[in-house]
Amino acid sequence: MNRPYGMLAELTYGCPLHCPYCSNPLNLADYREELTTAEWQRVLAEARALGVLQLHLSGGEPLGRRDLEEIVASARGLGLYTNLITSSLGLSPQRAEGLRAAGLDHVQISIQADEPALSDRIAGTTSYEHKVAAARMVKEMDWPLTLNVVIHRHNIDRVGGLLDLAEELGADRIELANTQYYGWAWRNREALMPSRAQLGKAEAVVRAARERLEGKMEIIYVIPDYYSLYPKPCMDGWGQRQLTVTPNGGVLPCPAAHTLELPRASVRESSLEWIWDESPLFNRFRGTDWMPDPCRSCDRREIDFGGCRCQAFQLTGDAARTDPVCHLSPDHDLVADAVRAANEGPEPGVADLIPRVRTRKSSDSPTGLEYSRRVP
């Protein structure tokens, strides 16, 4: 059986940003009982024993955890490569020095646009200037820097400016990832989906930048699923190479799998090894035996593994259906209709976006944030 090489540790869902494409769960109140420092340290040891080599520390905002340095130091002691995925809000020089001393290997900063007002509007809070300053600090401290940009209708025309900004900041890598429609992005799908014309222009800009910056900066560009001929493989295959641990200890084959109506698995109830090898959740869509036609008889069945299970569930209500993104899917019209609306309907503005629900301050939680009980 394949072993996982990467683990996404979602340390908290508390976050100072309110991005309208956030893929975290809508009902944050379910995740208030966050794992303690000792629990995370045990999970990291179990992950390393299972074969994990790369640890991605995310959220929400992982800097909200007061024990982040302890978690990083434990990971370093286990020989894990650590990547901090952050908004950078909370990354002061003192905090950065502490994380470097703890052994943090890499920093990945999200940015919403290359223009301050637009970036702050999308993020739902004043943050652009801090993000740029934090990126400069990361490079001054000799960390590898990745910029991560979620691309959508309201910033895709700024791809050239974003690439220029990444080059100016000395980023080693930039990820331009078109929105995946889960969580808040699903609620905002009509306002977020770009047009074909926008995609064509952006792809031409990216191609030119790759040629110009080859060997200097890595450029990752992920096209929108809805515009693809075939679906993407779910995390290199469901339960094949990656796993996610949520703030309250839930374990998932992919970050969005909390939406599926499947048996749950938790590190508070079972070992990570048992969850990976034996749990019904991780075995439900492993391999190809579960597949219906047209996937079962398709030559691509071990390339894209039937596509995204969460997307299939989101669109059809059945996680075992062929991903409707695939042009061979019997449900492909669901995607084609959404694409048609994005290209023929009235053009939505930034004001049409619904921001992610806010959190409140609390002195009792590990992050100092109290999760809102509001469900949209």
Is position 371 within any domain?
no
Model confidence band, residue 1 (pLDDT cutoffs 50, 70, 90): low
Q: Does residue 19 have a known ligand-binding role?
A: yes
Residue 134: pLDDT over 60: yes
CA distance readout (Å), 311 to 67, 191, 218, 370 = 34, 18, 28, 30
Query: 183: left (phi > 0), else alpha (psi -120 to 50), else beta?
Result: left
Quote the pLDDT of residue 26: 81
Residue 9: pLDDT over 70: yes
What residues does 109 pair with on adjacent strands?
Answer: 86, 147
Is position 203 within any domain?
yes
Is position 373 within any domain?
no
Is position 117 within any domain?
yes
CA distance readout (Å), 164 to 18, 113, 168, 208 = 25, 11, 6, 12
Quote the pLDDT of residue 358: 53
Is position 352 within any domain?
yes
Reduced to 3 states, what is the DSSP secondary structure of residue 176? strand
- Nearest one of 84, 82, 92 to 110, comparing CA atoms: 84
Mean pLDDT over residues 262-283, rounded? 97
Residue 284: pLDDT over 60: yes
161: buried, middle or exposed (CB in 10 Å: 19+, 13-18, 0-12)?
Answer: middle
Count the domains in the chain. Answer: 1
Mean pLDDT over residues 12-39, rounded? 91
Quote the pLDDT of residue 25: 84
Mean pLDDT over residues 246-267, rounded? 95
Cβ proximity of 356 and 124 under 8 Å: yes
Q: What is the mean pLDDT of the chain?
A: 92
Is position 118 within any domain?
yes
What gap in Å lies between CA 120 and CA 129, rounded to an integer? 9
Is position 367 within any domain?
no
Residue-number span of the structural domain to which 263 is assigned: 1-358
- Give the whole-number percent of the chain exceeding pLDDT 70: 94
Reduced to 3 states, what is the DSSP secondary structure of residue 44? helix
Residue 84: pLDDT over 50: yes
CATH of the domain at 278: 3.20.20.70
- HSE of 190 in the Cβ direction (CA atoms, 13 Å)? 11
Q: Does residue 254 have a known ligand-binding role?
A: no
Total-model pTM: 0.92
Residue 335: pLDDT over 90: yes
Tens of pLDDT, residue by residue over 43-64, are 999 999 999 999 999 999 999 9
What gap in Å lies between CA 308 and CA 231, rounded to an integer? 7
What gap in Å lies between CA 275 and CA 157, rounded to an integer? 43
Cβ proximity of 199 and 223 under 8 Å: yes
Cα angle 191, 85, 162 (rounded to 5 degrees) comes to 55
Q: Other CB atoms closer than 10 Å to residue 228's CB: what's the count?
A: 16
What gap in Å lies between CA 350 and CA 119, rounded to an integer? 11
- How far the first Cα of the chain sits from its last, in Å, is 40
Is position 190 within any domain?
yes
What gap in Å lies between CA 236 and CA 318, rounded to an integer? 21
Q: Does residue 310 have a known ligand-binding role?
A: no
- Give the whole-number percent of the chain exceeding pLDDT 90: 85
Identify whether 324 is preceded by a cis peptide bond (ω within 30 of 0).
no
Contacts of residue 215, defined as CB under 8 A and 6 or more positions apart, other chains included, come to none
Strands (E), 136-257: 145-151, 173-178, 218-222, 242-245, 251-252
Mean pLDDT over residues 311-337, rounded? 96
| Structural tokens at position 176 | 């331009």
